Amino acid sequence: MVIEAEVYDTKPEPDVFRTAVIYDDVFLEHDTGSGFPENADRLRRLTKHLKEHPVSNQLLWAAPDEKIDPVPWIKAIHDPGYVADLKRACEAGERQMHGSADTPISKRTYEVAAKAVTGSLTAVDLVMEGRVNNAFAALRPPGHHAMPANAKGFCFFANAAIAARYAQKHHKLERVMIVDWDVHHGDGTQSIFLEDPSVYFFSTHQYPFYPGPSGSPEITGTGAGKGSNLNVPLAAGGGDKSVVKVYQMQLTDAFRKFKPELLIISAGFDAHEADPLGDLGWSSDVYAELTEILRALCREQGHERIVSLLEGGYSQRGITEGVRRHIEALEAPPKKP
Ligand SMILES: [Zn+2]
């Protein structure tokens, strides 16, 4: 009887993983042509580097959840006409969306971009269901320049914005914050939530720089969204110190006032000192430092819910070391206050 009772009381082992990494080989199938900075080799290098590193064993490697249909969630943010146009252009074998060299496409681009959305929503599910504390999606194409009705700047679907809306509609959250540390301003994400007080958008970015005036600190939201958009421009060459200070001051203030129930990071690695596009000169270690600040702020709110989505990052060191330092800091046991 005693043995039976013990067996009856035995619960499944809880997941020991703190951090999930979402990845699928299909992300390599968005073909941007030779010499283009946003290419499949970025992810090949990243996954090889992670798998060869001891941290890999600490991670829950997961594929995008096939049970999720991303299309309704894509259409919750993007104009259905644009979604149909992208699908048609890819199937027709066209090589550029809207005739722009900044948005090269291939036969499978629509499918891959939709799968990147599925990967983003899978990350939200794993975190919201408590399977892990936080998740990083190693995906492409990136999303933060994508506009409601057009592709832009290597981006097709707004992964972070779609994930934020999904967390609100599917997981019933009220307040989601998107923090964007890509070297470029996340103009797509900003435009989607400019009038929406329920999604706070915070961005540091090199300025003046691509994509232009959208990154101005004077843009703080409109209508009901006034005060839920914060742009902190950084001068070229600012290095680690300037961004850490911004995270300790402006970001910390904004976070404590807004009290997000979920934090989404638009995690680009093109502010890295080795990046061929950006000039902010950040070290690999600063990605761990920023991550620790964000984790500590979440813990103040009584949770650990961080979903991090890959955006840019075009150097070998930025996309390997930078991402790994970020993931190591996501995975590390929480520091005592
Ligand atoms: Zn970028």
Distance 102 CA to ligand 1 centre (A): 12
Distance 3 CA to ligand 1 centre (A): 59
Whole-model pTM?
Answer: 0.95
Tokens 């939709």 found at: 114
Q: What is the mean pLDDT of residues 57-68?
A: 97
Q: What are the φ/ψ torsions at residue 18 (nearest 5 degrees)?
A: -90, -30
Residue type, 211: P
The pLDDT value recorded for residue 337 is 58
**Residue 210 C-alpha from the chain's centroid:** 19
- Residues 280 and 234 sit within 8 Å (Cβ to Cβ): yes
- Residues 133 and 18 sit within 8 Å (Cβ to Cβ): yes
- pLDDT 10s digits, 171-205: 999 999 999 999 999 999 999 999 999 999 999 99
The pLDDT value recorded for residue 13 is 42
**Residue 292 C-alpha from the chain's centroid:** 16
Distance 185 CA to ligand 1 centre (A): 7
- pLDDT 10s digits, 85-140: 999 999 999 999 999 999 999 999 999 999 999 999 999 999 999 999 999 999 99
The pLDDT value recorded for residue 125 is 98
Tokens 């929480």 found at: 334
Structure token pair of residue 108: 């499978």
Distance 105 CA to ligand 1 centre (A): 18
Beta-sheet strand order (sheet of 176-180): 59-62, 19-22, 134-137, 306-310, 262-267, 176-180, 199-206, 229-234
Tokens 């249909």 found at: 69
The pLDDT value recorded for residue 7 is 43
Confidence of residue 336 (pLDDT cuts 50, 70, 90): low
Give the CA diameter of the chain. Answer: 74
Dihedral sign from CA coordinates of 203, 133, 319, 122: negative
Question: Active-site residue 145, yes or no?
Answer: yes
The pLDDT value recorded for residue 16 is 78
Check whether 8 has a pLDDT greater than 60.
Answer: no
The pLDDT value recorded for residue 163 is 99
Structure token pair of residue 296: 């500590």
| Alpha carbons 167 and 28: distance in angstroms, whole number | 27
Distance 129 CA to ligand 1 centre (A): 30
| Alpha carbons 153 and 36: distance in angstroms, whole number | 12
Rounded to 10°, the helix 159-170/109-128 angle is 40
Per cent of the chain over pLDDT 70 is 95
Q: Which residues surround ligand 1, an ion (CB under 5 A)?
A: 182, 184, 268, 270, 312
Q: What is the mean pLDDT of residues 201-226?
A: 98
The number of beta carbons lying within 10 Å of the beta carbon of residue 16 is 8
Catalytic residue, from 144, 145, 185, 205: name it. Answer: 145
Q: What is the mean pLDDT of residues 135-160?
A: 98
| Alpha carbons 71 and 78: distance in angstroms, whole number | 10
- pLDDT 10s digits, 298-327: 999 999 999 999 999 999 999 999 999 999
Helices marked H in 11-96:
40-51, 71-75, 80-91
Per cent of the chain over pLDDT 90 is 94
Mean pLDDT score of the chain: 95
Distance 216 CA to ligand 1 centre (A): 16
Q: What is the mean pLDDT of residues 37-59?
A: 97
Q: What is the mean pLDDT of residues 284-293?
A: 98
End-to-end CA distance of the chain: 46
Distance 146 CA to ligand 1 centre (A): 12
- Residues 272 and 322 sit within 8 Å (Cβ to Cβ): yes
Structure token pair of residue 163: 């994930």
Q: What is the mean pLDDT of residues 275-282?
A: 98
The pLDDT value recorded for residue 334 is 75
Of 253, 171, 242, give the one whose Cα is nearest residue 204. Answer: 242
Domains of the chain: 18-331 (3.40.800.20)
Distance 13 CA to ligand 1 centre (A): 40
